[in-house]
Structure 1
Amino acid sequence: MRTKSLLLAACLSFAPASAALAQTVTGSGVVPATAANSAGRAIGFAAEAPAGGALVIVMTDAVLPPLDGAPLTGAERQAVTAAIAAADYKGEAGSTLSLRGIGAHSRILLVGAGAAPSSLALAEAGGKAAQELANEAQPVTVAGAYGDAAAADVAYGFALGQYRFDRYKTVDRKAVPTGAVTLLGANPAAAKAAFDGRWQPLADGVRLSRDLANEPANIIYPESFVARVREAFAGVGGVSIEVLDEAAMRKLGMGTLVGVGQGSPRGSRLLLVRYRGGGASDSPLAFVGKGITFDSGGISLKPGAGMWDMKGDMSGAASAVGAVLSLAKSRAPVHVVGVAALAENMPDGNAQRPGDITRTMSGKTIEMLNSDAEGRLVLADANEYVAGAYKPRAIVNIATLTGAIVGALDDQYAGLFARDEKLAAALLAAGTASGEELWRMPLHKNYAEKIKSDIADIRNIAPSQGPGASIGAHVIGFFVDEATPWAHLDIAGVNQADKATPLVPKGMSGFGVRLLDELARSGA
């Protein structure tokens, strides 16, 4: 229903600025000839630093570490130590000190990780370094006060922090740095194995989510979303992909998902990506994401200001499949299914009207009072389908669902709604460990009274004011059997960043990939 921009703006028509964007047309969508975005600097590991370029030193206090393998002469060490003292630099988490003119280095950048840094703190130091050096063309060497294995954590942060999405810029586009980044350590083979086996796949999953959400709605719509996901999973073992088109969904009676998209010429889709690792349980953990590739509000049209932001109303679906990509590429011993409920919510003469009754595949009915409360409708059919076809041991919904959650939590937390205490505790722990934090919100039984309908099973909104985020969660939960552990994450306040943080450059955040990856690995 809402992403972070609560009062939404004029629907802008995206016109490619260059004939270099090949006109591969599906419906009215224009697909660029090259979809791949730059992955940034190549990341490697070594015991000795290559010559030249920039040097990053990860600090945990004010004392310059030994830096074995780093090309610093005695005189250069003295100069850096003097600069640390002059600046009263303490190596606190998130702090930086940039030095130039010392030796042959184009730049020496000190990045603080804080005392006894955690894996997440080291990753954030790496992300901070990547952003500080975004416009440095030279190769980068990273050394510092971390153990050999922790070099992989720093590299992971660098991979997340260097993300950029500017593929459509033809004027004033900043050059992509081509110089590699090399992390120093006594055992580079061990660091590389840790990075390649765990952290690079996770960075790939986050990148997939960010790319899908950053794309304009004339590029990513239900059909092209499916195509992009198929491309991302090509050659990845243990994966199966199922896609239901509109004809298949109508045959199954999935009226709520199809109904949301019936005002658009672009047909709706239900995408399910299943990964089963070795030794995993028979019952998967299901991540079910809202995938509204553009949300005009339908007949209940949104205000014009900021409507362009609604290209990101599929961030939940993007992160659901991104988490599965991470788990599959790292060959995690888990069984998961990522579900994307994909539709474009548009207001033409065939669009559903406020007051219409829609029916899910189970036969349950919804009085649709507001067509801009569409996320809960597509998730209703998606939840019922995955429950019947895949028999998951738990279902976690993830959606940019309500502006109300933004008013409650701003951009600091995603809202967590859960009926199962063990699942709620596992999600909260996964949020803390991954750095994608959640705040538990209420599912009071009295809120459910507000969505009772006189002519159908439920309404999709409360007809009078109330706790909007909790009411939205109640609507979604109505379509999940009480015996199934279920939780809902409202990510409307955190799916994009207005300003950069170490692991999240400005733009679509990919929120949820790291969290769901951690949840699956925790064995909850």
Structure 2
Amino acid sequence: MEYFVKSGNPEKQRVACVIVGIFERRSPTTMAEIIDRASGGAVGSVMRRGDMDGKLGQSLVLHNVPGTFADRVMLVGLGRERGFDEAAFRKAIAASSSALRNTGSIDAVNFLTHQEIKGRDFRWNVLQALLATQAEYYRFDACRGEQAREDLPSYKLERLTFDVPRRSDLPAGEAGMRDALAIGVGQALAKDLGNLPGNLCTPTYLAETAQALASRKGVKVRVLEEADMQQLGMGSLLSVSAGSRQPAKLIVLEYLNGPKGEKPVALVGKGLTFDAGGISIKPAAQMDEMKFDMCGGAAVLGTFKAVQELELPINLVGVVAASENLPDGQAVKPGDVVTSMAGITIEVLNTDAEGRLILADALTYVEREFDPAVCIDMATLTGACVVALGGYPSGLFANNAGLARALTQAGEQIGDRVWELPLWPEYDDHIKSECADIANIATKNGREGGAIIGATFLHRFTRKMKWAHLDIAGTAWIGKKATGRPVPLLVQYLLNLAARQSED
């Protein structure tokens, strides 16, 4: 589908559908009022009959409205005018996109992007509208048979235009469209990888996906095999893959489009393509969802895809630690002690706390190989984070206040929010081991503060870096569908970084 930004009058659009908004209590927006006047009161008549009262997410399609050139006029409920905010805007756009699918329209112009939102400009409006539309139109059918794919309903919409009030708003709208298209491409890649089952999306498949990114100019990819990891002393990572027939991969990506010699931003992702828990095997219920345990790695690849599209003038490196975690005769056992690349010994008290084990070596590798300006890891690390925060924000931990603020700001801008949790030294005592340097789960106070304990473990391997950890266990997927988060957050953070560097 093609997207456009323009500025025009709703009654003069020669398209299959024009979309305008109605607030609660049958209060038309300016664009709806223009349609109403041009049609001799058609919109007002519909509202007086009670067919549309403006409740948020409500939609109604009118056909052959007199005085207009469009085949259809769609009225979309915006809710209370005083309470119209960012969340209401996204919901209204999603409702319009969902309803548009069922109209059979080939092209449409959406005027909801005219609505002013406090603290936001028309770049934001267009960006959010396009992202919400792409989310509605995303479909994963890679695992369906050919006939089943043919039988799925097809979407006829080919062109969608977002309208802005004035010609002077076009540059902002076009910038929003450019950024949203890139974020959307990266988010779709992360969704596709997350939605694939574990027998297809293996560590090797993730490596091949990364290598496909390198087919375009700007990205270089290296893949470290298990023999390479053994030579580097990555006993922590290799302990997780010991029970799998699928070899682990350490996927290293480089995008160096910034000033020569400038330290890069490093992204590190957990790429557990399936997690059965190892010897500490998980319950059978919902174990199928553990195919999503690689969503941190998918987010790294999706972010690189978006940065590639945007051609951002930054230096960026990425590392995806990819493995399976399965029970086997050679699998690591509870009570085993392994030695990480950093030389820190780890008592593995629970083999299902494996994400931190593979990330430990990946983080050490990043520190030694790249000495990054900042390092951000992302992982579906703990169910405790889901209990603490639900599925709305990702958990944020950071050893640098400025980095935490920058990520929080980016999340608020793009609508991919985070919430910071403490990383206090008092928690260090919780991972003391009786026979090794540290344990991979809490050795005191049971399951208390589980998300913090996971972050505390990772912090032992990141003390020399400006570092942040994103626990995305509650946000990487909803139900049985990947969300592609935190790709929007990461891309917005990098956009902000590039903008600050250009000002300097």
Per the normalisation by structure 2, the TM-score is 0.85
Q: 1:447 to 1:246 in 2, by over 3 A?
A: same
Structure 1 unaligned regions, length at least 5: 1-40, 499-505
Q: Matched residues in 1 for 2:36 and 2:243: separation?
A: 68
Corresponding residue number in structure 1 for 2:118: none
| 1:295 paired to 2:257 | no
| 1:176 paired to 2:157 | no
Match of 2:472 among 474, 477, 491: 491
Q: How does 1:205-354 map to 2 (within 5 A)?
A: 205-235=186-216, 237-279=217-259, 282-354=262-334
Q: Deviations over 1:42-95 (max 9, x none)?
A: 323456777453332256783343479x9x685646212333455496767x53
Q: 1:77 to 1:132 in 2, by over 3 A?
A: farther
Q: 1:280 to 1:306 in 2, by over 3 A?
A: farther
Q: Which moved more, 1:73-82 or 1:338-347?
A: 73-82
By how many angstroms is 1:374 displaced? 0.3
Q: 1:105 to 1:336 in 2, by over 3 A?
A: same
| 1:164 paired to 2:139 | yes
Q: Matched residues in 2 for 1:117 and 1:319: separation?
A: 31
Q: 1:467 to 1:64 in 2, by over 3 A?
A: closer
Q: Matched residues in 2 for 1:426 and 1:290: separation?
A: 22
| 1:82 paired to 2:45 | yes
Q: Which moved more, 1:273-282 or 1:466-475?
A: 273-282
Match of 2:109 among 138, 142, 153: 142
Corresponding residue number in structure 1 for 2:3: 43
By how many angstroms is 1:320 displaced? 1.9
Match of 1:63 among 28, 32, 49: 28
User: What amino acid is aligned across from residue 158 of structure 1 in structure 2?
Assistant: T
By how many angstroms is 1:444 displaced? 2.8
CA contact (8 A) 1:67 1:144 kept: no
| 1:129 paired to 2:108 | no
| Structure 2 SS opposite 1:263 | coil
| Structure 2 SS opposite 1:273 | strand
Q: Matched residues in 2 for 1:107 and 1:144: separation?
A: 11
Corresponding residue number in structure 2 for 1:502: none
| 1:194 paired to 2:185 | no
Q: Matched residues in 2 for 1:280 and 1:196: separation?
A: 30
Q: 1:207 to 1:58 in 2, by over 3 A?
A: farther
Q: Matched residues in 1 for 2:82 and 2:137: separation?
A: 24
| Structure 2 SS opposite 1:344 | strand
By how many angstroms is 1:419 displaced? 1.7
| 1:96 paired to 2:78 | no
| Structure 1 SS opposite 2:41 | helix
User: What amino acid is aligned across from residue 160 of structure 1 in structure 2?
Assistant: A
Q: 1:348 to 1:136 in 2, by over 3 A?
A: farther
By how many angstroms is 1:487 displaced? 1.5
Q: Matched residues in 1 for 2:457 and 2:251: separation?
A: 22
Q: Matched residues in 2 for 1:116 and 1:130: separation?
A: 22
Q: Matched residues in 2 for 1:82 and 1:335: separation?
A: 58
Corresponding residue number in structure 2 for 1:416: 396
Q: Deviations over 1:218-269 (max 9, x none)?
A: 110100011123324532x332222111111111111111221121111111
Structure 2 unaligned regions, length at least 5: 115-121
| 1:517 paired to 2:479 | no
By how many angstroms is 1:318 displaced? 0.9
User: What amino acid is aligned across from residue 343 of structure 2 in structure 1?
Assistant: G
| 1:471 paired to 2:434 | no
Corresponding residue number in structure 2 for 1:53: 16
Q: 1:394 to 1:60 in 2, by over 3 A?
A: farther
By how many angstroms is 1:313 displaced? 0.3
Per the normalisation by structure 1, the TM-score is 0.82
User: What amino acid is aligned across from residue 18 of structure 2 in structure 1?
Assistant: L
CA contact (8 A) 2:248 2:324 kept: yes
Q: Matched residues in 2 for 1:129 and 1:280: separation?
A: 46
Q: Matched residues in 2 for 1:144 and 1:459: separation?
A: 56
User: What amino acid is aligned across from residue 4 of structure 2 in structure 1?
Assistant: G
By how many angstroms is 1:388 displaced? 0.7
| Structure 2 SS opposite 1:293 | strand
Q: Which moved more, 1:125-134 or 1:111-120?
A: 111-120
Q: How many residues align?
A: 472
Q: Matched residues, percent identical?
A: 33
Q: 1:176 to 1:42 in 2, by over 3 A?
A: farther
Q: 1:190 to 1:123 in 2, by over 3 A?
A: farther
Q: Matched residues in 2 for 1:447 and 1:349: separation?
A: 34
| 1:110 paired to 2:76 | yes
Corresponding residue number in structure 2 for 1:32: none
Q: Matched residues in 2 for 1:325 and 1:231: separation?
A: 10
Say which structure is richer in helix.
Answer: 2
Q: Matched residues in 2 for 1:51 and 1:353: separation?
A: 68
By how many angstroms is 1:183 displaced? 3.2
| Structure 2 SS opposite 1:367 | strand
Q: 1:75 to 1:310 in 2, by over 3 A?
A: same
Corresponding residue number in structure 2 for 1:10: none
CA contact (8 A) 2:214 2:221 kept: no
CA contact (8 A) 1:58 1:143 kept: no
Match of 1:155 among 130, 135, 141: 130
Q: Deviations over 1:177-231 (max 9, x none)?
A: 0321233456597478425532211111111111110111111010001112332
Q: Matched residues in 1 for 2:53 and 2:306: separation?
A: 35
CA contact (8 A) 1:270 1:339 kept: yes
| 1:356 paired to 2:336 | yes
Question: 1 or 2 for the larger relative contact order (CA 8 Å, sep ≥6)?
Answer: 1
Q: Deviations over 1:281-304 (max 9, x none)?
A: 711111211110000001110000
| Structure 2 SS opposite 1:488 | strand
Q: 1:515 to 1:151 in 2, by over 3 A?
A: closer
User: What amino acid is aligned across from residue 183 of structure 1 in structure 2?
Assistant: F
By how many angstroms is 1:384 displaced? 0.3
Q: 1:386 to 1:118 in 2, by over 3 A?
A: farther
CA contact (8 A) 2:52 2:60 kept: no
CA contact (8 A) 2:336 2:347 kept: yes
CA contact (8 A) 1:67 1:143 kept: no
By how many angstroms is 1:461 displaced? 0.6
Q: 1:146 to 1:312 in 2, by over 3 A?
A: closer
User: What amino acid is aligned across from residue 78 of structure 2 in structure 1?
Assistant: G
